[in-house]
């Protein structure tokens, strides 16, 4: 970690967990309490989205609200002893295999539109066990 900057998701998750333990009560630190708080942050981001008007200030307000969602979501994962970095890497890999852009391009070149190509890829995808 650079001085004053977080350079990895793991560092961010660790610092977020320490911070929340210092400022939240036990009920708020439970998986359900953190999840409820995350949903409150999602609602705030959704509200800010309705005010998005193309100005830098409105974009920054929305960005801050989305960052709050991520911040609290990391706390949910921490409570469950789940590594955000591992899960993000896993889901990136899974999505790449499920919706492979090369396959998508080939399907579209063979006459499928975007939605048909995605639906086809989803239909034939096998979830890892």
pLDDT band at 88 (very low <50, low <70, confident <90, very high): very high
What average pLDDT does the segment 115-128 reach? 88
Task: Report which of residues 23 and 102 the model is more confident about.
Answer: 102
pLDDT for 40: 95
* In a domain? residue 103: no
pLDDT for 2: 56
* In a domain? residue 47: yes
* In a domain? residue 66: yes
* In a domain? residue 26: yes
* In a domain? residue 95: no
pLDDT band at 59 (very low <50, low <70, confident <90, very high): very high
- The HSE-up count of residue 114 (CA atoms within 13 Å, CB side) is 0
* In a domain? residue 23: yes
CATH assignment of the domain containing 57:
1.10.287
* In a domain? residue 32: yes
pLDDT for 91: 92
* In a domain? residue 116: no
Domain total for the chain?
Answer: 1
pLDDT-above-70 percentage for the chain:
93
Concatenating the DSSP letter of every residue in the chain gives --TTS--SHHHHHHHHHHHHHHHS-HHHHSHHHHHHHHHHHHHHHHHHHHT--S-HHHHHHHHHHHHHHHHHHHHHHHHTT--HHHHHHHHHHHHHHHT-HHHHHHHHHTT--HHHHHHHHHHH-----
Residue 71: domain span: 9-83
What's the mean pLDDT when you consider all of the chain?
A: 88
């Amino acid at each position: 970690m650079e001085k004053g900057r977080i350079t990895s998701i793991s560092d961010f998750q660790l610092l977020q967990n320490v911070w929340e333990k210092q400022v939240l009560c036990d009920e708020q630190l439970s998986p359900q309490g953190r999840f409820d708080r995350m949903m409150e942050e999602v609602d705030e981001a959704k509200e800010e989205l309705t005010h998005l008007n193309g100005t830098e200030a409105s974009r920054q307000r929305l960005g801050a609200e989305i960052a709050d969602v991520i911040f609290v979501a990391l706390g949910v994962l921490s409570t469950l002893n789940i590594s955000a970095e591992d899960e993000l890497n896993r889901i990136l890999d899974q999505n790449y295999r499920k919706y492979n852009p090369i396959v998508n391009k080939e399907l579209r070149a063979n006459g499928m539109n975007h939605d048909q190509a995605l639906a086809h890829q989803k239909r034939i995808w096998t979830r890892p066990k």
